[in-house]
Structure 1
Amino acid sequence: MARPRNIVLLRHGESEGNADDSVYERVPDHALPLTEAGRRQAVEAGERLRALFGDERVSAYVSPYRRTHQTFRALGLDPARVRIREEPRLREQDWGNWQDAEDVRLQKAYRNAYGHFFYRFAQGESGADVYDRVGAFLESLYRSFEDPGHPPNVLLVTHGLTMRLFCMRWFHWRVAEFESLSNPGNAETRILVLGENGRYRLDRPFEHWCTPESYDATG
């Protein structure tokens, strides 16, 4: 099995939805483009990734959203060394159709109070739904490692919540641990690095916004 040395998770650059949540009333979530600031963030991320990858090959998986595709293109990776696949299972948590800005703010407040993992948007998904499809993607990713010629680097261009859920699934974190973590910033990375012991570790942790709760399994 040819396990890659680096599995890089990259959040897209700043999108118009990050800058102005009223845009969801006019533009579908999947169609939101990057802002100029988001493009600059992606270019800067590309400089860091080119230094990390060097001349090595990369297997890239990109969420089907416009902002993730634009982020990938702005990275400036050598197309001769990159195998790219669009991967719908790495998409953002679905909110469902166009959204009223005030309703979005209200549902986000509900989600914060209820819990990001279990709260389900009225016409969309819960975090648990995203966890399930990320798990299905991981099964496909594991199978790709059986190819002895698999590239030594994997790049996932995706979304903040999806990044946290990917790591939750990979490292078998509890729900309470996931709930305590903050999303990375736009165009930030987290890298799973293969150690000498054959196990992966995160190059740096996610920031915590609170202390994980402890649940009494007997109560």
Structure 2
Amino acid sequence: MARPRRIVLIRHGESEGNVDDTVYERVPDHALALTERGLKQAQEAGARLRGDFRDERVSAYVSPYRRTHETFTALGLDPSLVRVREEPRLREQDWGNWQDPADVRRQKSRRDAYGHFFYRFAQGESGADVYDRVGAFLESLWRSFESADHPPNVLLVTHGLTMRLFCMRWLHWSVAEFESLSNPDNGSIHSLVLGTDGKYHLDRPFEKWCTPESYGVC
């Protein structure tokens, strides 16, 4: 088994939906493009990743959304060193089809009160649903490590909630620990790094908006 030295997770750059939530009435969530700012965020993230990866091979998995594909392209990684696959299980939390912004705002407010892990959007998924499909992807990813020539780097280009749930599943966080975490910024990078103890450790923590001990009252 050839486990990678690092598993890098990056949230897509700023998209049209991040600056104007009425766009969901006109454009499917999966078809939203990066803004100019989002493109710059992805390019800046790419400069950092190229420094980390250097001339090492990378196994990349990209959410099937337009904004994640555009983010991956803007990273500017050497295509001769990267094996890239589209991975639907890394997609954004489904909120339904065409969306009424006012209704989505109401549901997001209810989700904040109910909890991001358990609240299910009326026509979409709960955080728990995303956790389950992320867990299924993790099992596939782990099986890929059985290859003796697996690249030393794994890159996941995905979404903020999916990033946090991937780390929750990998690091065995509790629901309370997950709920205490803030969403990472667009273009933000977090890495699971293989330590000398044979375990993966998060290179830097996610920011928190409350403590796990106060979950339910914060």
TM-score in terms of structure 1 length: 0.97
Amino acid at match of 1:127: G
- Give the deviation of 1:214 after TM superposition: 6.5
Q: What is the distance in 2 between the residues matched to 1:212 and 1:83? A: 38
- Hey, what does 1:88 align to over in structure 2? 88
Gaps of 5+ in 1: none
Q: What is the distance in 1 between the residues matched to 2:178 and 2:102? A: 26
- Give the deviation of 1:213 after TM superposition: 3.6
**1:157 is the counterpart of 2:157:** yes
Gaps of 5+ in 2: none
- Hey, what does 1:97 align to over in structure 2? 97
- Hey, what does 1:10 align to over in structure 2? 10
Calculate the aligned-residue CA RMSD, in Å: 0.8
Runs of 4+ in 1 over 6 A off after TM superposition: none
Task: Give aligned pairs, total.
Answer: 215
Q: Could you give the per-residue CA deviations for residues 78-117 of structure 1, whole angstroms, max 9, x where no partner exists?
A: 0000000000000000001011111111000000000000
- Give the deviation of 1:208 after TM superposition: 0.6
- Hey, what does 1:137 align to over in structure 2? 137
Q: What is the distance in 1 between the residues matched to 2:25 and 2:115? A: 25
**1:114 is the counterpart of 2:114:** yes
**Secondary structure, counterpart of 2:99 in structure 1:** coil
**Secondary structure, counterpart of 2:77 in structure 1:** coil
**Secondary structure, counterpart of 1:7 in structure 2:** strand
Matches within 5 A, 1:26-37: 26-37=26-37
Q: What is the distance in 2 between the residues matched to 1:156 and 1:183? A: 16
TM-score in terms of structure 2 length: 0.97
Q: Could you give the per-residue CA deviations for residues 67-87 of structure 1, whole angstroms, max 9, x where no partner exists?
A: 000000000000000000000
**Secondary structure, counterpart of 1:143 in structure 2:** helix
Amino acid at match of 2:178: F
Q: Percent identity?
A: 81
